[in-house]
Each structure stands twice: as structure tokens, then as C-alpha cells.
């Protein structure tokens, strides 16, 4: 659903004013200074504060019309995107809000609209303005970072949807509007937003199962009967991306995994960093080989649950090859070659065997 909201009369007035005096819309225009009364100190302070507010409101002026776009996904999940045009900065910003009936843990931060839209395209965080001229405009008025202004998020994809292009090499050159880019980008961006929301909802379901210690039914190329159990799965507080901690246990032996999930999951598989508890012998090579098996050795992007399941199998194999747990798996060589590689590769032959790669 798409709608245009705001004051149409004010929009007509602004357009008429810009047409009659095009020089007033120049990006490098200085904001007029009011004379400062000096006869009373208190009046001087108030006047200075008023001038600063006037400068801020002028620089951050929005067009009176906004475009409201609502995407409906499933299960009453809706993403609201409001597009605003900053008339002096000449960029488009986005105010977003995601509503869903999936509100229980671990949805929380994962289903915040800002988290869902983060890096919808690579390196598009929406932290800085895509218009290079804005850096000088905001610095001249001592406004600080763009993200602190509270005027929405200037995603690069929002500029493309509006047909705006910015020339990075010459900051003095005005932005261009390309109608074809806008038309092509709207459909592409909305498709990506829908895919991202669906993926995030599925990830919530996966994490909810892992928190309960449950796993989905895997295809035949994954081992099912394992001695290692998942005893804990929870949020790991981080400053970037989505972080979780998994604790696996077999007997008195424990493995702790810190998991980093990129915004574009499952296109990009999670990255596991693992360590053993002090009772389990380890070395940098042992940790590296197991992390490689979990993070790298997949034919195609995999799921978080499948990675955790493989980690359980690898920990089983490691403990059994070290003689720290009864041998329950079928493998021919506990270690092989100069690198002393372990049989982490699973083959669904004859009931399932493990071998070296």
C-alpha cells in the first residue's frame, strides 16, 4: 500500500517559491544571521539559542509531503516505510517501523526495523549522508554526526528509489534525478526488504528451537545420533551484528561457541569462534580445524541449526579420538597425515561413517 501524506497547499507554496527564486535553494547558502542584542546578557543568551534553533530547523527542513509505503508479509507482519525529502540537504531519509505478532523471545532486537534494514545492500548502514555536500553543511553548523539529528536514516537504496544520484568526485556538482533508476530500484528494493523480513522471521524460529535445546529434522547427510548435547543457547551482547553463545557438553567436557550472525543471513552463514573448557586438551591447530569444518566446509550457504548440529558431531569425534569419551561413531583413523586431521567429514553410507577430508 502506498500513500502520499502531508500539506499539499504548503507543498505548492514551496514549489512556487523555489521556481521564482531558484538561488534560495542553493546547497551552499549561508543561513542569515540575526543581530545580537548586547544590552542584556540574558537576552544575548536567548537570542543565540534561538538563532541556533533557527539554523537547525532551516538546514533540516523537510518537504511537507511524505510517501508512506506499507509492506505486508505474513502472520500480520507489516513493515512501514516513510520517505521524507530534506529540502536543503537534498536527500531522502527513511523512518521505518516493523509490526509483527512474533513478539516473544528471541524476536526483540532481531525484529526491530533498523536491525532488519541494516546492510540491506553491502556497506549501506545509513549512518552518513550519501550526499557529500552535506558533510560541509553540517560541519559548518556544528551539528555533529548525521545519525544524531533524528531526521530518519539516509539509506543509499532510498536515494535510488527516488532516482537520486550523487557524484562523489565533485562535491560541488548538484545531484541528478534519474527516473529510470527510480523505477527499476523500487521493485528491486521492496523485493529485498520482503526477503530480509522473511529470513529474519525464520531465524527467530530457529533460535527459539535452539534455546529449547531442539533441532529440526535434517536430511540424510547430517548425523542424528550424537552424544554431545546443547545445554545452553542465548544472546551474546555485542556492538555489531547479532551475537549468540552456545554451550555444548558431553560428560564433563564442554565446548563454548560464540556465534556472529550477519544481517544478510542466510545468504552469509554465521561464523563460529570456539573454545574448550580447561579439562579438554586443545591447541590452536585443533581449534582452527574444527572452526574450519563448521564455518567453511559447506557446499552452499547453510543454516544456523545445521552448523550447531555439525559442531555437536565434531565435538563427539574429537572426544572419541582423544579417548575422552566412549567410541560410538564409525571411523577408520583417529588422526591422519602430518596435520593429524580428524575424521570430521560425515558420509551417510552403511548407517553413517566419519572420515578425513
pLDDT one-digit tens code per residue, 126-159 = 999 999 999 888 888 888 788 888 899 999 999 9
**Per-residue pLDDT at 181:** 58
Residue 348 lies in a domain: yes
Residue 174 lies in a domain: no
Residue 40 lies in a domain: no
Q: What share of the chain is helix, strand, coil (3-state, %, to 5)?
A: 35, 20, 45
Can you list the alpha helix ranges (DSSP code H) found in 171-272? 179-211
341 and 223 in a common domain: yes
Q: What is the pTM of this model?
A: 0.81
220 and 193 in a common domain: no
189 and 86 in a common domain: yes
Residue 45 lies in a domain: no
Look at the chain and report how many structural domains it folds into: 2
Closest Cα to residue 65, out of 9, 148, 121, 140?
A: 9
Q: What is the mean pLDDT of residues 190-197?
A: 95
127 and 56 in a common domain: yes
**Per-residue pLDDT at 22:** 56
What percentage of the chain carries pLDDT values higher than 70? 84
What phi, psi does 16 have (nearest 5°)?
-65, -40
Residue 99 lies in a domain: yes
275 and 190 in a common domain: no
For residue 295, give every residue at least 6 positions away whose Cβ sits within 8 Å of its Cβ, in sequence order, or none.
269, 271, 272, 307
322 and 218 in a common domain: yes
CA dihedral 228, 229, 235, 239 (to 10 degrees): 0
User: Count of residues for the chain?
Assistant: 357
151 and 70 in a common domain: yes
- Give yes or no for residue 183 having a pLDDT over 60: no
**63-113 residue pLDDT tens:** 999 999 999 987 789 999 999 999 999 999 999 999 988 766 666 678 899
Alpha carbons within 13 A on the beta-carbon side of 337: 7
Residue 41 lies in a domain: no
Give the distance, in angstroms, between the CA of residue 113 and the centroid of all CA atoms in the same chain.
10
Grid look-up 525484529 returns 111
Looking at residue 351, what DSSP letter applies? T
**Does residue 250 have a cis peptide bond before it, meaning omega lies within 30 degrees of 0?**
no
Which grid coordinates are listed for 156? Answer: 543509499
What phi, psi does 321 have (nearest 5°)?
-70, -25
* Confidence label for 171 from pLDDT (cuts 50, 70 and 90): very low
* Confidence label for 34 from pLDDT (cuts 50, 70 and 90): very low
144 and 117 in a common domain: yes
58 and 129 in a common domain: yes
193 and 59 in a common domain: yes
Residue 74 lies in a domain: yes
158 and 269 in a common domain: no
- Give yes or no for residue 271 having a pLDDT over 80: yes
Q: How far apart are CA 21 and CA 48, in angstroms?
A: 28
The domain in which residue 122 lies consists of 2-7+52-169+182-200
Q: What is the mean pLDDT of residues 318-344?
A: 92
Residue 21 lies in a domain: no
145 and 246 in a common domain: no
* Confidence label for 116 from pLDDT (cuts 50, 70 and 90): very high
Q: Higher confidence at residue 52 or residue 45?
A: 52
Which grid coordinates are listed for 353? Answer: 561413517
Name the CA radius of gyration of the chain, rounded. Answer: 28
Amino acid at each position: 500500500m502506498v500513500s502520499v501524506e502531508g500539506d499539499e497547499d504548503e507543498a505548492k507554496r514551496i514549489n512556487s517559491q523555489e521556481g521564482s527564486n531558484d538561488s534560495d535553494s542553493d546547497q551552499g547558502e549561508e543561513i542569515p544571521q540575526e543581530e545580537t542584542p548586547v544590552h542584556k546578557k540574558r537576552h544575548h543568551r536567548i537570542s543565540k539559542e534561538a538563532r541556533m534553533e533557527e539554523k537547525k530547523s532551516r538546514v533540516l527542513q523537510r518537504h511537507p509531503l511524505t510517501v508512506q509505503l506499507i509492506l505486508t508479509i505474513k502472520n500480520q507482519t507489516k513493515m512501514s516505510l516513510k520517505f521524507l525529502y530534506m529540502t536543503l540537504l537534498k536527500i531522502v531519509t527513511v523512518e521505518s517501523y516493523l509490526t509483527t505478532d512474533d513478539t516473544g523471545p528471541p524476536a526483540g532486537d532481531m525484529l526491530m526495523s533498523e536491525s532488519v534494514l541494516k546492510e540491506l545492500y553491502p556497506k549501506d548502514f545509513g549512518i552518513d549522508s550519501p550526499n557529500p555536500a552535506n558533510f560541509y553543511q553540517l560541519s559548518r553548523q556544528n551539528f555533529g554526526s548525521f545519525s544524531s539529528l533524528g531526521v530518519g536514516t539516509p539509506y543509499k537504496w532510498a536515494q535510488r528509489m527516488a532516482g537520486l544520484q550523487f557524484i562523489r568526485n565533485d562535491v560541488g556538482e548538484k545531484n541528478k534525478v534519474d527516473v529510470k533508476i527510480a523505477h527499476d530500484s523500487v521493485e528491486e528494493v521492496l523485493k529485498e526488504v520482503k526477503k530480509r523480513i522473511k529470513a529474519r522471521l525464520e531465524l527467530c524460529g530457529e533460535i527459539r528451537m535452539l534455546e529449547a535445546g531442539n533441532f529440526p529434522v535434517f536430511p540424510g547427510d547430517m548425523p542424528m545420533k550424537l552424544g554431545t548435547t546443547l545445554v545452553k543457547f542465548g544472546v551474546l551482547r555485542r556492538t555489531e551484528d547479532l551475537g549468540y553463545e552456545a554451550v555444548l557438553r558431553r560428560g564433563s567436557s564442554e565446548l563454548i561457541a560464540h556465534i556472529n550472525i550477519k544481517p544478510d543471513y542466510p545468504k552469509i552463514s554465521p561464523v563460529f569462534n570456539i573454545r574448550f573448557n580447561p579439562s579438554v586438551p586443545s591447541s590452536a591447530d585443533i581449534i582452527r580445524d574444527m572452526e574450519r569444518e563448521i564455518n567453511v566446509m559447506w557446499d552452499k550457504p547453510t543454516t544456523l541449526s545445521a552448523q550447531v548440529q555439525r559442531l555437536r558431531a565434531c565435538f563427539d569425534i574429537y572426544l572419541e579420538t582423544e579417548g575422552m569419551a566412549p567410541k560410538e561413531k564409525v571411523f577408520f583413523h583417529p588422526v591422519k597425515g602430518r596435520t593429524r586431521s580428524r575424521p570430521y567429514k560425515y558420509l551417510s553410507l552403511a548407517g553413517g561413517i566419519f572420515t578425513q577430508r
